[in-house]
Structure 1
């Protein structure tokens, strides 16, 4: 123990985690010798466990600011913009002045509750999803404070308490008849093919807006989804897909016909625009050829639904037989419709996951658990029917374990 002025200091030796070389670490600022000894003993135990962290006076604001700057190189611009918004809007104003190493689970639990109850504009409650996103940023930053920067022995987010999540009813989506009615109405719009392709591939809007004509092989009936489009600081930005990898999605003959008609229509627009046409090979673009922003197609969909419903009401007054009225639906719901219909038709989860671009089929299982549960209720009847019709031999052959004879066989039925 060493007394320097009015405070006490201690020194211990700590092994560098990368080199293994032991180096002295001085820690000062203790009011009494006893306090310095107690802190030294705790530090020695932590050092032996490989959990020693340097004493830091950095605040949460200082750490988050530095972390966001360093993290900018590792994520997409749109993702970084989301992290920054959450940190600057919800986290720093409330816990920014707290010392990072003094951050406790109880503090984070209180913050979580405050955001839920009145963290929005003018003191309005925030949605559970928004608060969870904000805390996902906190968790990721503090994980780096533990693993990378070695400023925390553990992540307090992992030990905080959260309100019990209320079970939400699955969001309802259009049925097949409603989807057909919408696509038929949207076909007259110059971007009708966009909504058709969204429904028939399950692709995200950013992936479709990134498509080039060279990404479509209409003879082989495939679409190569190799990138995505987002918005960062008001600018249209191109990047990788959400999962970070390209995928090829098959399309049917009807979709091929729709895309050929769309290409012909686009060629006519180009002739009309003449010298005003913007260059490029984008499949979906503005009337004069310029690239589309993601919000354009999202905001257009409610208008198309409204126009369809107005036309249905006029047809009802004329005593004709109109198509069904459409309840409100988001653009992203076309992706859910695609997945739901495939799963209810018995398409394997792994195939649906690949079409949607999910990195792991477990994501698909989690999101569409309600659909799979509905499908499973019919399993008993399917089995009974197979037995009654005498088609059990083929069924038993199909489910016979392929790994029994060939450990390297592909096509097992495990999920």
Structure 2
């Protein structure tokens, strides 16, 4: 028991840490009893935890203290995410491993976690959290925080009765310019496609830049999904290469869709199919494309193996460098397709459908910078409408 003469409103310092005491219900007697909770690094953290505990007691939601740490819970939580897409789970695991586990916050008791602790943690990560020890982008910090938030919220009911007050967590601000996805203009795209024409994966570059489909969706296409005469391409699944070998699953939004490929794409795919048949003749018995999962794939390696997403990204990076085009990721071809269409006045709803966004508001949020028009134009438009009505 702490010396009550040193206690201030239920808070007391014990050695190098702070503790608090509150009165909690005793299920056996129906009366209240004192409950001590310690291990807080400073008085402010102890006060925040005490206030949260008092609020839980008042609402009848108090949870018995547990020694489970933030790091331990995150590992448990990741291990139970069996319904997560492989790429997404790999991204979650990497962010936790790099930006949570090496830091003191991983050793904080889950029930002692406070907004102040999280704010300080993300401040440190934002200034020195990159692999090279330098600053980490606000976007990555916010993504990592969203994962921690999901995990902690999922602990409610099992290890927590209420999560921290997330609105009080201070995160680095996202720069306005950084919110715009990287994309090429029409001249850059034309120059790149001209410079890389005739290279092996050129049909993939053409397909992605002219339909906006994702890398994994393009590499999961089967010939039965493609009608090179009408141009209809059915996007019914995606592929990731997390772990051993390719993993096929539903598209990112779990819904199939059909996109239309223009003439350039259709011609490229016709030529690709001929080249693929020649690959099979040359490979002979070494051709592995007859395997059930990969036999009908559109994009294959010379021996019939699927083209791995990571391989495609590296091949694109080399092609961009060799062509002299501005730096861009393979996913940037998708952004390029959407940006060029919206800048040319295409319907947001139609572009959202092409991209596979469930809600056009997602498209608006990501590509609002690409939509033409300004307040002056809107004012002129209203004046014309009202003037005509008068």
TM-score normalised to structure 2 length: 0.78
Quick check: 1:27–1:55 contact (8 Å CA) kept in 2?
no
Matches of residues 88-167 of structure 1 in structure 2 within 5 Å? 88-94=97-103, 95-121=105-131, 123-146=133-156, 148-149=157-158, 151-167=160-176
Q: 1:291–1:366: structure 2 CA closer, same or farther, 3 Å change rule?
A: same
1:214 aligns with 2:229: no
3-state SS of paired residue (2:246):
strand
What's the offset of the Cα at 1:85?
2.0
Quick check: 1:101–1:152 contact (8 Å CA) kept in 2?
no
**Consecutive unaligned residues in structure 2, runs of 5 or more:** 1-20, 38-48, 290-294
Quick check: 1:228–1:240 contact (8 Å CA) kept in 2?
yes
Instruction: Give distance in 1, aligned partners of 2:350 and 2:170.
Output: 37
Instruction: Give distance in 2, aligned partners of 1:306 and 1:257.
Output: 26
Matches of residues 226-265 of structure 1 in structure 2 within 5 Å? 226-233=236-243, 235-265=245-275
- Higher-RCO chain (CA-CA 8 Å, sequence separation at least 6): 2
Report the counterpart of residue 19 of structure 1 in structure 2: none
**Which of the pair has more CA radius of gyration?**
1
3-state SS of paired residue (1:248):
strand
3-state SS of paired residue (1:121):
coil
Quick check: 1:118–1:126 contact (8 Å CA) kept in 2?
yes
Report the counterpart of residue 357 of structure 1 in structure 2: 356
Quick check: 2:238–2:251 contact (8 Å CA) kept in 1?
yes
Q: 1:151–1:187: structure 2 CA closer, same or farther, 3 Å change rule?
A: same
Per mean C-alpha deviation after superposition, the further-off stretch among 355-364 and 175-184 is 175-184
Report the counterpart of residue 190 of structure 1 in structure 2: 200
Instruction: Give distance in 2, aligned partners of 1:371 and 1:97.
Output: 44
Report the counterpart of residue 300 of structure 2 in structure 1: 285
Report the counterpart of residue 308 of structure 1 in structure 2: 323
Q: 1:213–1:160: structure 2 CA closer, same or farther, 3 Å change rule?
A: same
Q: Deviations over 1:107-136 (max 9, x none)?
A: 000000100111233532222222222111
Q: 1:28–1:380: structure 2 CA closer, same or farther, 3 Å change rule?
A: closer
What's the offset of the Cα at 1:380?
5.8
What's the offset of the Cα at 1:249?
0.8
What's the offset of the Cα at 1:156?
3.9
What's the offset of the Cα at 1:161?
1.4
Per mean C-alpha deviation after superposition, the further-off stretch among 276-285 and 159-168 is 159-168
What's the offset of the Cα at 1:232?
1.7
**Consecutive unaligned residues in structure 1, runs of 5 or more:** 1-6, 15-22, 32-38, 310-325, 397-415
Q: 1:382–1:282: structure 2 CA closer, same or farther, 3 Å change rule?
A: farther
Instruction: Give distance in 1, aligned partners of 2:233 and 2:159.
Output: 45
User: Aligned residue pairs: how many?
Assistant: 348
Report the counterpart of residue 180 of structure 1 in structure 2: 190
Report the counterpart of residue 299 of structure 1 in structure 2: 314
3-state SS of paired residue (2:277):
helix
What's the offset of the Cα at 1:190?
2.0
What's the offset of the Cα at 1:47?
5.8
Q: 1:220–1:12: structure 2 CA closer, same or farther, 3 Å change rule?
A: farther
Matches of residues 2-41 of structure 1 in structure 2 within 5 Å? 11-13=25-27, 30=36
3-state SS of paired residue (1:92):
coil
Report the counterpart of residue 332 of structure 1 in structure 2: 331
What's the offset of the Cα at 1:24?
7.8
What's the offset of the Cα at 1:198?
0.4
Q: Deviations over 1:229-248 (max 9, x none)?
A: 11223543222222222211
Q: Please give the root-mean-square deviation of Cα atoms over the aligned residues, in Å.
A: 3.4
Q: 1:48–1:10: structure 2 CA closer, same or farther, 3 Å change rule?
A: closer
Q: Deviations over 1:20-69 (max 9, x none)?
A: xxx989987549xxxxxxx9xx9797467353334322211222222122
Quick check: 1:138–1:157 contact (8 Å CA) kept in 2?
no
- Match of residue 76, structure 1, among 77, 80, 85: 85
